[in-house]
Amino acid sequence: MKITVQSSTVVKPVYGGKAAPATEFVPLTVFDEANYDEYISGIQAFHPAASPPNAVLQAGLARALAEYREWAGRLAAGGAAGCRRRVVLLNDAGARLVEATADVALDSVVPMRPTPEVLRLHPAGDESTEELLLVQLTRFTCGSLVVGYTMHHAVGDGFAACNFLLAWGQATRGAAVDPVPVHDRESFFVPRDPPRVEFEHRGVEFKRRDDDTSASSSDSDDVAGDAIAGDDDEVVIHKVRFSREFIAELKSRASAGAPRPYSTIQCVVAHLWRCMTKARGLDAGGEVVTGLRVAVNGRAKMTRPRLPEGYTGNAVLWARPTTTARELVAEPLRHAAEIIRRELARIDDGYFRSFIDFASSGAVEAEGLVPTADVAEMVMCPDVEVDCLLRAPFYDLDFGGGRPFFFMPSYHPAEGVIYILPASPLGDGSVEAHVSLFGRAMDTFKDCCYSLAVPDMLI
C-alpha cells in the first residue's frame, strides 16, 4: 500500500460571520498534568457513500473548531498567565489537515492489523509538533475514506477526544453540536478547605523522578527480569476477538457462587491478565507481584460536583489491583475478577477528591514528584496497563452519509498494554482488544487466550 500526500494545510476556526473571540487561555488541571504527555492516534474507515468530499470535511472541521477552540490552540507555559501549570492558548492558530491518496482499494487492507503500516494513515505527533490536533484524509481507489487523527493527550482524554470527533461530524452535516462542550476546567476540581488527603498518592499517581513504580518487589526481580530479557525482544500486538458465547461462559464461570455477577469488562480483563502472566512465565518461580493499571473514568465516579457529559479535558485516574503471579494463575478466574472489582470500587468520588487535594497542595512541586504516567516506559512487565474504550461512541461519527465500519487505535508497541476496543457496530456482542507482548510469549498467550481449558489454569 503506497500512501501519497497531496496537500497539508492549517485549518482555523470559522465563526459563521461572528467576530472571533479574544485570545484567552485554559489552565491545565491536575488530571491533565497527571496523564500521559503525548499524542494519541486512531483511524476510522468509511465506505464511499459515507465519505463527503474533502472540502466539505474541511469546512465542517473549521466549524467544529469554533466550538472546541482548545484543539485549534497551542500549549504554553503558564507563568506568563499567572498559572503554575501549563495552559492551552485559545489563539485559533489552527489544526493540521493532510490530504492523501492510497494506490489500492480499501477492502484489500481491511480489517487492518496493529502493525507499523497503520502509522502511514495518520499524521505523526512529537515534541516538535505545534498543533494539538492533526488530521489525515486518505482516499482509496475504491472511493472509500480513512480518517486518521492525532490529538494531544494533555488537552483531553479518550472520551473528550471522541466528543470532539462527533462534533466534527455534526458540524459537517449541519446538525447542532451535542453534547455541548463545557470548557470550564477549574471549578470542577477545587481542592477542599481544609484539604483531606485520605489515600496514598505517592507511588501511585506520582513518583520521584528516579523511582521505579513497578509492582514487582526486589525478591521477584530476577524472575521478572527473565521475562523481559532475551534475544527476541520485538513487541508484537495481537488483536483478540471474544464472541458473545465465549464471554457468556467466562462470566458464568467467574460469577458462579459470587454475591453478584461480574461485568463483561471485569471478566475479560481478568482472563487477559492471567493469560499474559502465564505467557510471560511469571508464575514459574518466586513470588513475583503483578499489577494492573486500569484507567477509571471520573465522569462516572465524581459526584460532588458531577462532571457534565461535554467536559472537554482529562478526568482519568487508575485502579491498581495487585497479587502474586503464582496466585493469579493458580486460583480460578473468579479470584482475579474479585480483585479487579474490589479495586475499581475503591476508586470512587472520595478517591478522586483526595487526589485533587494532594495534587493541589504543593507537595508535588516541593518533593520534585512527577507523574507515574510515563511515556518513556515501553515495557510494563510484570504489570499490565488497561485502556477500555468499549463504551466510547467512536462508531457514532457521521459526516452525513453514515457511520464508519472500522475503528482502531494506532500502532503503539509498548509491552504489556491492553486496549479494549469500542463495541462492534455489528451488534453481535463480541469484544475485541489489542494485546501487546514480546514475540516469544505470544504463542503461549494465544493458547491460553482462546481456551477455557488450559493446563495449570483454573477458569
Kindly list the catalytic residues. Answer: 153, 398
Q: Which helix (H) or strand (E) holds 98?
A: strand 95-102
Cell numbers linked to 224: 521478572
Cα separation, 420 vs 240, whole angstroms: 9
Calculate ∠ Cα 224-229-232, nearest 5°.
Answer: 135
Q: How far is CA 125 from the centre of its chain?
A: 16
Cα separation, 87 vs 81, whole angstroms: 8
DSSP state at residue 148: E
Cell numbers linked to 138: 486518505
Residue (of 210, 212, 189, 213) closest to 359 by Cα position: 189
Cβ neighbours of residue 205 closer than 8 Å, sequence gap 6 or more: 34, 317, 318, 355, 359, 371, 372, 373
Work out the widest C-alpha separation in the chain, in whole angstroms. Answer: 69
Burial of residue 115 (CB within 10 Å: 0-12, 13-18, 19+) is: exposed
Helix residue ranges per DSSP H, 205-263:
221-228, 244-255
